[in-house]
Amino acid sequence: MWTRIARALRPWPKHPLDKLYGIETSSKVRRFQLMTGDAETNKANNGYGGSQPSIVRKALESLPPLREASFIDLGAGKGRVSAVATEYPFARNIGVELSATLCKVMTRNSERMSRAFPDRTRIEVVEGDASRPALPPSGDVVLFLCNSFRGPLVARLVKHIGEAWGDRPDRKLFFVYYNPVHAHLLDADPGFVRYAAEWCKFLPEEAATTPFANDYDSVVIWQRRSKAMAEPRPGAEREVVFDFPDFGCFVKI
C-alpha cells in the first residue's frame, strides 16, 4: 500500500493517449483542489485519476449492439474516457463533472478533439452533480464511473438511476464501473443485474504512466433489469476483492 501512495505523490508522466490526441489528461490535480460548496461531495471526493484507455475499450467492446446509445462519463475529470468514447459510434458523448477547474480542461480537450476529428461525436461537457445525472429521454444509455467518489455518493447515484430511469422495457441501460470499490451497492439493488466482470492488465506503455504501482484494473458491468436485457457474459458473477478501502479492488479470476 505504501508503495502505491509514494508513487502517487510523484509527478505523473504524460499519458500515451495525450500524445496520440494532443490533449491533456495526465497532470496531477490534488483532492483539495477540487473542493466545492457541497460538504457531502467534498467528503466523498476521491480526487482526479485517469482510467486506462485499453481497459475502457475492452469494456465498451464487450457490450451488445445498442440503439442510438448515449455515453455518459460520471465524474469525467479532464475527459480522458470521453476522448476514448469518441472512437465509438455513440449518438451522444457526455462528460459530467462537478469541478469547474476540471470542466475547463475537459472543454479544451473537447475542442481539440472536435477540430482533429470533426466526424466523431462531440464531447458535451456538463458541469454538474455526477451522482444525479440527467438521463437522455430516448435511446440506450451507457453510464461509466471510475471510482470518482465514495460510497455515499455511489449509493445516491444508484438510487437516482432507479428513480430517473423507471420502467423502460424497450431500452437498455448499462453501468460500467472501473475499479468498482462499491460494487456491493449495485449488487444489492434488485434493479441491476451483472453483465460482465473482468480483470485486465494495462498495455506496457500505459503501465509506465500509472500514478500507482499496479499494472492492472478491474471492471464490472451491470445492466438495468428489463425485457431488453442482454445475456450476461461468462464470469459475470466473479467476486470483487477489496485490497485498499475506498480506493482499490480487483475481480477474482
> Minimum mean pLDDT among 9-13, 14-18, 167-171: which range?
9-13
pLDDT computed for residue 208 by the predictor: 86
**Order of strands, edge to edge, in the sheet holding 92-97?**
123-127, 92-97, 70-74, 141-145, 173-178, 216-224, 192-201
Decide if 223 contacts 66 (C-beta within 8 A). no
Cα(51)–Cα(205) distance, integer angstroms: 14
pLDDT at 36: 60
pLDDT tens, residue by residue, 75-118: 999 999 999 999 999 999 999 999 898 999 999 999 999 999 99
The CA distances from residue 172 to 64, 109, 204, 225, 240, in Å, are 10, 29, 34, 9, 24
Q: Judge whether residue 67 has pLDDT over 50.
A: yes
Pair 169, 187: CB distance under 8 Å: no
Sequence length of the chain is: 253
Share of the chain above pLDDT 70, in %: 86
pLDDT in tens, 141-200: 999 999 888 788 999 999 999 999 988 889 999 999 999 999 999 999 999 999 999 999
Say what the pTM is.
Answer: 0.90
CA count, 13 A, side-chain hemisphere, 224: 22
